Amino acid sequence: MNLLESIKLGDKVLRNSMAMAPMSRSRANTDGLVGDSTVLYYTQRASAGLIISEAINISKQAIGSPLTPGMYTTAQINAWKKVTQAVHKNGGVIYAQLWHTGRVGHSLVKNGELPVAPSAVAIEGQQHFTMEGMKDYEIPRALTIQEIVQIIQDYKQASINAMEAGFDGVELHAAFGYLPNQFLADSANQRNDQYGGTNENRNRFVLEVMKEITKTVGSGKAAIRLSPTSTYNNIVHQNPLEQFTSLIQELDKLPLAYIHLMNVPIPVDQFPQYPVEVIETFGKLTQHTIIANFGYTRETGEAELAKGTAKLISYGSLFLANPDLPKRFELNTALNKPDRATMYGGQDIGYIDYPFLD
């Protein structure tokens, strides 16, 4: 079974070709610290070939949602050390996903500060979770060039911190409508300087961040997650095929560990410019290892690997509910169903109490 075959990734040999996708669980405390339950949560899932952590805020400014963890204080680094040490002790490999939410936040979560973004364009038609309930999105504050330069340095420092915390590598979260994705998208980026207006300029922020991360962590330890067809958080690309082709060609010049592609389905009638098959369209453009993500099952994941473009399949909610997912796939046995009511926030229920196979 391809999913259970070991594979080399960077300088690591993974025990199988299954990755645990990054999933926000909102179990950190108000200081962005993860605790003992988070250590156990990741340890339980160490049989994944690769664990990609939940999204981790690179700075105080990066925070968009309550009770999400950080990687910018000594205490946060030390808290994550307990996670990585436990995962390694159990034979696992774990990458840190670095996160800046940009406009996907609210001042109620940011001590009264407005969210920042490439341009002062609000998300419409959605609401954001705060500790005071769901709220409409605010118009974000457009970043200055000086602030953009600082955020790039924040990503660099967070990469240094992640390696100090014992992670095996880092993944830039450049998908699903967060800050790097906002720079990529025409709908969110209306700048007319070097960071907007053309494909080359809209790609610039992501490429500058990735260059800094790669120099910081070293060859084969930096990665990126992209979602060329996702429209979540009001993200729309006028010509995604042209733009992401250009972006991936530039990323191919860097010594990355992998590119993590989200194969998000779209209504073709509403977005005729979007490719239907993300993995085959963009995965073949690069020499880097491709991880395919979004809604895969045991059977569809196996079929994706059989095509030869993707080398790993990442699973989100299936790993959330099945800490021993590789064993369940091996035996082709029943799966626990994820409880969506306990995915975000709360205590240990729906977090570390999903049963293993007998």
Dihedrals φ, ψ of 84, to 5°?
Answer: -65, -40
Q: Where are the alpha helices (DSSP H) in 54-115?
A: 74-89
Mean pLDDT value of segment 325-329: 98
CA dihedral 325, 2, 306, 252 (to 10 degrees): 90
Q: Is the pLDDT of residue 244 over 90?
A: yes
DSSP state of 288: S
Mean pLDDT value of segment 281-287: 97
Decide if 347 is inside a domain.
Answer: no
What is the pLDDT of the chain when averaged over all its residues?
Answer: 97
- pLDDT of amino acid 236: 94
Mean pLDDT value of segment 21-32: 97
In the chain, the number of structural domains is 1
Decide if 351 is inside a domain.
Answer: no
Mean pLDDT value of segment 236-253: 97
Taking the model in full, what pTM does it have? 0.97
Decide if 352 is inside a domain.
Answer: no
Q: Is 178 a catalytic residue?
A: yes
Range of the domain at 111: 2-342
**Percent of the residues in the chain that have a pLDDT greater than 90, as a whole number:** 97
Decide if 330 is inside a domain.
Answer: yes
Mean pLDDT value of segment 271-280: 94
Sign of CA dihedral 161, 164, 165, 168: positive
- pLDDT of amino acid 266: 87
Decide if 355 is inside a domain.
Answer: no
**How far apart (Å, rounded) are the C-alpha atoms in residues 112 and 306?**
50
**How far apart (Å, rounded) are the C-alpha atoms in residues 288 and 260?**
10
- pLDDT of amino acid 268: 83
Give me the CATH number covering residue 105: 3.20.20.70
- Count CA within 13 A, CB hemisphere, residue 127: 8
Q: Where are the alpha helices (DSSP H) in the chain?
A: 36-44, 74-89, 145-164, 179-184, 199-217, 240-251, 278-283, 298-307, 317-321, 325-331
- Kindly provide the b/e burial profile for residues 143-159, where b requires at least 16 CB atoms within 10 angstroms of the residue's own CB: beeeebeebbebbbebb
- Kindly provide the b/e burial profile for residues 225-247, where b requires at least 16 CB atoms within 10 angstroms of the residue's own CB: bbbbbbbbbbbebeebeebbbbb
Q: Report CA 109 to chain centroid distance, whole Å.
A: 21
Encoded tokens for 199: 């494909």
**How far apart (Å, rounded) are the C-alpha atoms in residues 120 and 63?**
18
Decide if 145 is inside a domain.
Answer: yes
Decide if 210 is inside a domain.
Answer: yes
178-230 pLDDT tens trace = 999 999 999 999 999 999 999 999 999 999 999 999 999 999 999 999 999 99
Dihedrals φ, ψ of 128, to 5°?
Answer: -115, 140
Q: In which band, very low, low, confident or very high, does the pLDDT at 358 lie, cut at 50, 70 and 90?
A: confident
**How far apart (Å, rounded) are the C-alpha atoms in residues 256 and 2?**
23
- pLDDT of amino acid 231: 93
Catalytic residue among 178, 258, 274, 354: 178
Residue 29 · residue 69 · CB < 8 Å: no
Which residues are registered as beta bridge partners of 223?
171, 258
The three-class DSSP label of residue 125 is coil
Decide if 349 is inside a domain.
Answer: no
Q: Is the pLDDT of residue 260 over 90?
A: yes
**Percent of the residues in the chain that have a pLDDT greater than 70, as a whole number:** 100
Residue 337 · residue 343 · CB < 8 Å: no
Question: In Å, how far are 5, 167, 297, 306 from 293, measured between CA atoms?
Answer: 18, 21, 10, 15
Mean pLDDT value of segment 306-315: 98
Mean pLDDT value of segment 153-171: 98
Encoded tokens for 257: 């560990």
- pLDDT of amino acid 269: 87
DSSP per residue, 172-241:
EE--TTSHHHHHH-TTT----STTSSSHHHHHHHHHHHHHHHHHHH-TT-EEEEE-TT--TTT---SSHH
